[in-house]
Structure 1
Amino acid sequence: MTEVGEAHVLVSPFPAQGHVPPMLKLAEILSHAGLHVTFVNTDNIHRRFLASSPALQRLAGLPRFRFRTIPDGLPEDHPRPFLQFLDLEESLRTRSREHYRELLVPTGKDPDGWPPVTCAVADGILRLASEVAAEMEIPVIFVRTSGACAVWAYLCIPDLIKGGEIPFPEEEEEKEEDGLDETIRGVPGMEGFLRRRDLPSFCRNAKSTSDRSLQFVTNANANVRRGRGLILNTFEALEGPVLSHIRSAIPISYALGPLHLLSRTFDDCGADAPLSSNSASLWQEDRSCLKWLDSQPQRSVVYISFGSVTMMSRDELMEFWHGLVDSGKRFLWVVRPDLAEGKIEEAIQEDLEKETKERGCLVGWAPQEEVLAHPAVACFLTHSGWNSTLESVAAGVPMICWPFFADQPVNSRFVGDVWRFGVDMKDKRGRSVVERMVREVMEGERAEELRRSAGEMAELARRSVGEGGSSYRDFENLVKDIKAMSREK
């Protein structure tokens, strides 16, 4: 039997690798806090999870946690490339409303005897969830899976448009590179260091104010401002000044990160739980790389992963390859089958494998939390996705940042020039650049400085999720607020 006013949260992520795992961590800790949690996947995402993630069976066994799925409206054989996420978002919003509404406010009795949904926790870019919840008068708390620095930049986009800073003025081709170093003035708190090249990729690529991506971001911002609160996967010691700016616009904002550490705090098994049981990857992980790492000296390996979305040309891939080889360092490289434009030709793959037998390891996908926590790893060459950035922060591993998309250019600027536990390789190419930056982060006095800064921030991250820490307190406030909403019903 359920109690009157018992809280039931419907958690709805945008169906993509960078969005589902952190929101699944959040859903898990809400369940550990005593709330009923229904986690909504699309059919496609859930099938991928069942094939790749050991966490699903464990989570499904929790007494107050369950999975539900909805169709995304696309054909079964559709590849669903994330770079076309606007098409997926539109399909969900226009073709899945009834399915989502039935989960939010069922027409019949709940099969598990659970209480009605009292609060929706929705991805800030999933308009389907926010619009249907508003129609059904269910309170919504939004989640943005980007860091606070990028979220604040997104929230300032209307002001950047109004001030004429975006779209960028048309410039002569030969002056384009210098033009990207122009400082941005319309993002309060970042006036001294944020440049055009550091803005989210939507801003850089937009040719007019009617650009589809700009319009999408503007609408998402408006939705988030109308919610009952905003959840961010970050912590005060890392992004306190930016969080202050966000709270000037959205007063009820919870900083709960790093969520992958907070989930261990509230898990019954605690910090001793094996990381492998917590993996929420949509890709099949190749765990053989951990054995390879076991055979390497401490702090000797560069870990390279460009995430699930980044694509590069064959020439770019080979420049990274030659730069790594020329650096003389050991490396573990995640080379997705679709990392390079088109397919990576067999000849290239054979060349890579032949040359890396002695001091390199190539895998299609890696158990990243475990890799970054491994004592052999000294440096992370990353696309600067926020999940990867936070996982590196939590592990105390310095970064080389080569951003590709969305919030990543903002993140890389903060890593290199604000937090100073990494270097920003944005818009730089060529094997000599790769070699130089790998050496900079792995050798000498500069490497010691970066390692020290990274280690200090890792300790602050651990403190933030411990009892009494800033993220722990914000989570307690979130649970209290959700329970108060259930009493409003």
Structure 2
Amino acid sequence: MGAEAVTHPGVLLVPFPAQGHITPMLRLARALAAHGVVATVAVPDFIHRRIASAGGGGAGVVALASIPSGIAEDAGGGSDTTPEFGAIVHAMEDHMPPHLERMLTSPRRPVACVVVDVLASWAVPVAARCGVPAAGFWPAMLASYRVVAAIPELIERGLISESGTPISSSESSDDGDEQDGDHSVMRGLKMLPAQVELRAEELPWLIGDSATQRSRFDFWLQTLHRARGFRWVLVNSFPGESGCAAAADDVDVHRLAMQGPQVLPVGSALLPGSLSSAAAAERTKHQQQQQPCVGNNNGDKNSSMWRADSTCIGWLDAQRAGSVVYVSFGSWVGSIGPDKVRELALGLEATGRPFLWALKRDPSWRAGLPEGFAARVAAAGRGKVVDWAPQDDVLRHAAVGCYLTHCGWNSTLEAVRHGVPLLCYPVSGDQFINCAYMTGPWGIGLRLGAELRRDDVRGCIGRVMDGGGEGRRLREKVRALRERVVAAEARRAADRNVRSFVDEIRRDRPLLMQIYSVL
């Protein structure tokens, strides 16, 4: 047993506590497990409870461990809502570190490396105190990592102030940046391809009022400072994501590696059905016997914090192929607002097309929904409104012909994997960057107007669902991108990056490997 244990280092993974971060972190853990790593994902206690209550915790190769957070069960207004960002930051910075430190220093649970979600940088100084190397994990596309890492350049060029707010003076267009109405479109920056248009007011930290934006910017500055300690950053993306030649992206990755941590795209290895997933299944029995932390196992099927409505698939079965509009704005950001909810509802109804709308049963999310709307469209056989949908199963269904999305990265990858064209309405964070690629170099989606008027909703859905012309072009583009992301070569390349990372852990921690040999 000793010789066998030497080849199985323990890795603790620490995600940021949001669905869009936990799902890819669990998939990364399974990819690591496929290469002989004993992987444990440590989540705050309120996340652990939600996953368990939603039906998670089936047999699998990854342990799910709980860290006390100090956040009450009903924080944020109920079990289905997300705690305020400030409450999460307070928990991560002030309450969770000593509990993580005890996990890392336990002699019964030796850890060779901590993989830290870049947004959960609170774990970096804890790992340093414990003498455990830390790697970063960026759960989004590499482009959004570039934008955040370019904060010093944005300040230097006068595009943003020292507090992160956009500078909308004529000076901001002196170096190749162009004015688009009242908005400064950032061009000529090394962080993005020339064909990607991103406005200064769409930067990831510009969420909420001025005070909230400042606190978010301070959070990012602290995150950047801590990220300097990473030797590696694993990115949930794929080579060639810019839409240019893959070789150009490889040069960019090498340049980033020379300036800081080594950047390893691993996104294709995290997709369900990947090479890593298949290999991990063969190690299930051994991994279950070698868990370094106490926690529930979590299978590949259910890492959701919300219980999905199981009637969605049966409803889709009754629809014609390619006829359904699927609508979801994710789970993290708040409501788009009552006026926009109303316009979206009436626009969907005006199309005359069947639609499936995943809309959280929360007063703030459903405010603005016309009286009796859900019952009316259901009775007419035209629509179905649910609290939460089994999204991956929905997007793979033949009836779905369009996805109206907030452009979250996980949702984007799922749509690409299943070849579904997109109608884009980004709300906050990295969603604007994702949208700029989807409607720009990738050409897989159209963007709705910011005001979200019912006529715009109806018209854009018609364009995406059109059997020829623009609709056909979008479908061809998404199928082409799908081949780049899910093709066997892309999966093998990502799997090689995962294996390279695991090999480096083994080389760097020989003493710890000797500890495993005597367990």
The TM-score with structure 1 as length reference comes to 0.88
Q: Which of 286, 289, 302 matches 2:312?
A: 289
User: Residues of 2 paired with 1:58 and 1:193: CA distance?
Assistant: 43
Q: Which amino acid aligns with 2:51?
A: F
State the Cα distance separating 1:5 from its structure 2 match: 7.3
Distance in 1, matches of 2:213 and 2:383, equals: 47
Tell me the matched-pair count.
Answer: 468
C-alpha displacement of 1:453:
0.8
Distance 1:336 1:95 in 2: 29
* Distance change >3 Å, CA 264–CA 335, structure 1 → 2: same
Pairing 1:265–2:267 present: no
Is residue 2:142 matched to residue 1:140? no
- Aligned-pair distance for 1:457? 1.3
Most deviating of 445-454 and 158-167? 158-167
CA contact (8 A) 1:412 1:426 kept: no
Which residue number in structure 2 is paired with residue 378 of structure 1? 401
TM-fit CA distance, 1:405? 1.2
The equivalent position to 1:211 in structure 2, one of 186, 205, 214, is 214
Instruction: Give the superposition deviation at 1:207.
Output: 5.4
Q: Which residue of 2 aligns with 1:248?
A: 255
Structure 1 unmatched ranges of 5 or more: none
Question: What SS does the corresponding residue of 1:267 show, helix, strand or coil?
Answer: helix
**Does 2:474 correspond to 1:450?**
yes
- Deviation track 1:146-173 (CA, whole Å, cap 9, x = no partner) reads 211211111111211222101223679x
How has the CA–CA distance of structure 1 residues 488 and 86 changed in structure 2, closer, same or farther, with 3 Å as cutoff?
A: farther
Q: Secondary structure of 2:154's match?
A: helix
Identify the residue that residue 105 of structure 2 maps to in structure 1: 105
Contact 2:484 2:490 in 1 (8 A): no
Which of residues 115, 125, 137 in structure 2 aligns to 1:121? 115
Q: One-letter code of the match for 2:343?
A: E
For the aligned residues, what is the CA RMSD?
A: 2.8
Does the Cα contact within 8 Å between 2:348 and 2:458 map onto a contact in 1?
A: yes
**Distance of 2:371 and 2:390 partners within structure 1:** 21
| Alignment pair present for 1:156 and 2:156 | no
Q: 2:31 aligns with which of 26, 29, 32?
A: 29
CA distance in 2 between counterparts of 1:371 and 1:289 reads 8
Contact 2:404–2:422 under 8 Å retained in 1: yes
Shift in CA distance, 416/170, structure 1 to aligned 2, threshold 3 Å:
closer
Q: Which has the higher contact order (CA 8 A, sep 6+)?
A: 2
Does 2:307 align with 1:313?
no
Separation (CA, whole Å) in 2 of partners of 1:171 and 1:352: 46
Asked whether 1:131 is paired with 2:141, we answer no
Matched, 1:302 2:325: yes
2:390 counterpart letter in structure 1: P
CA drift of 1:58 comes to 1.5
The one-character-per-residue Cα deviations of 1:112-144 (angstroms, maximum 9, x if unpaired) are xx5x10100011011221110112221111001
Q: Which residue among 45, 69, 72 is the counterpart of 1:75?
A: 72
The residue identity in structure 1 corresponding to 2:344 is F
Q: Give the CA deviation at 1:73.
A: 2.2
Which position in structure 2 is the counterpart of 1:11?
A: 13
Instruction: Indicate if the aligned counterparts of 1:225 and 1:250 stay in contact, CA closer than 8 A.
Output: no
The equivalent of 2:175 in structure 1 is none
**C-alpha distance in 1 between matches for 2:501 and 2:451:** 42
CA distance in 1, matches of 2:409, 2:55: 20
Q: Distance in 2 between matches of 1:368 and 1:259?
A: 20
- Deviation track 1:30-69 (CA, whole Å, cap 9, x = no partner) reads 1222111122011100000001144x2222xx3xx42221
CA distance in 2, matches of 1:451, 1:270: 33
Distance 1:435 1:488, change over 3 A: farther
Say whether the 8 Å CA contact 1:379–1:397 is kept in structure 2.
Answer: yes
Question: % of aligned pairs identical?
Answer: 27
Indicate the SS of the match to 1:182.
strand
Contact 1:421/1:453 (8 A) holds in 2: yes
Cα deviation, 1:188-228, whole Å, max 9, x if unaligned, reads 33355323257334247685999221121122123223201
Matched residue SS, 1:380? strand
Evaluate the alpha carbon distance shift between residue 278 and residue 385 of structure 1 in structure 2; reply closer, same or farther with a 3 A threshold: same
